[in-house]
Amino acid sequence: MDQCKRWPTIPVLGLLLCTLAPAQKPSPEEQRRTVDAAREIALHYTGTLPDFICTEMVQRMETVASARNTTTDKLTIQLNYFGQKEKYKLIAINGTPATQSLESLGGLISGGEFGTALLRVFDPSSMAAFEWKRSSSIRQRRTAVYTYHVARPKSHYVLGYRNDAGEMVQATAGYHGEVDLDSETLGVLRVTTIADDIPKESAILESSVELDYGLADVAGRRYLLPARADSTLARGFRTSRNLVTFTGYRKFAAESTIDFGGRGH
């Protein structure tokens, strides 16, 4: 389970949008302006979102090397986003309605897709070092790809898992990765996070997350929202991986629930 610290709200400043020529490396000054503008958008991302509800489908896989087998399950989770706060409810496991809480489950439970993943990269306190890498494209949108690195002393990336005794083991790690910025709007279309400098006492060997954003309709307006996430955590001889898809975005209503439609799932 990846967890992150909370950040204070920062007043909105003027945004500088710039367009990069394809395959042309920008000057250091152009890179700085682009990252600064993308930072302003990322820091205030959650403030631009409406109240909504959506469905998370989580395919979980856990491999134990010593046993040479992989176990899988599929979670259906209802996510309510109201007042810039997320609330998760476990609806079903492998299509069967669930009665237990999401927090009670073992295995990897990932999160942070609605703003936290962007904050841990762009928050000024992280002091991330950015560098332009290349021009690319995602879903026919031209992007500028930047690498970044955050040292452990400035890190907001907290890794964790529940051990066999049911106790939470947590560790703060450094991290690096890439962000794909829409070359026209400077919104983040993809962000990858790879843990490094992980404390040895945590017994965590590797951790990574790749998160894609796409346009989704909520109450007649289009918003850039999480579309898919791929999370991995390795410790000892055990590797856990979650593949998450976000679907069914719609306006939040207190009585909203997920309809399984005749129990055919």
Kindly report, residue by residue over 120-152, the tens digit of the pLDDT.
999 999 999 999 999 999 999 999 999 999 999
Query: Which pLDDT score is estimated for 256?
Result: 52
Q: How far apart are CA 117 and CA 4, in angstroms?
A: 8
Whether the pLDDT of residue 20 is over 60: the answer is no
Least confident of 7-11, 25-29, 155-159, 197-201: 7-11
> Per residue in 217-231, pLDDT tens?
999 999 999 999 999
Whether the pLDDT of residue 8 is over 90: the answer is no
Confidence of residue 102 (pLDDT cuts 50, 70, 90): confident
CB distance 4 to 211 below 8 Å: no
Least confident of 21-30, 39-48, 68-77, 198-207: 21-30
Kind plus residue range of the DSSP H or E element containing 117: helix 116-122
Query: Which pLDDT score is estimated for 167?
Result: 75
Q: How far apart are CA 28 and CA 16, in angstroms?
A: 16
The residues, any chain, with a CB within 8 Å of residue 152's CB and separated by 6 or more, are: 172, 173, 174, 197
What proportion of the chain, given as a percentage, has pLDDT over 90? 59
pTM exceeds 0.75: yes
> Per residue in 235-244, pLDDT tens?
888 899 999 9
CB distance 225 to 187 below 8 Å: no
What proportion of the chain, given as a percentage, has pLDDT over 70? 85
Query: Which pLDDT score is estimated for 190?
Result: 97
Per this entry, what is the length of the chain? 265
Query: Which pLDDT score is estimated for 115?
Result: 78
Query: Which pLDDT score is estimated for 36?
Result: 97
Q: Is the dihedral of CA 130, 133, 136, 142 positive or negative?
A: positive
Q: How far apart are CA 77 and CA 111, in angstroms?
A: 12
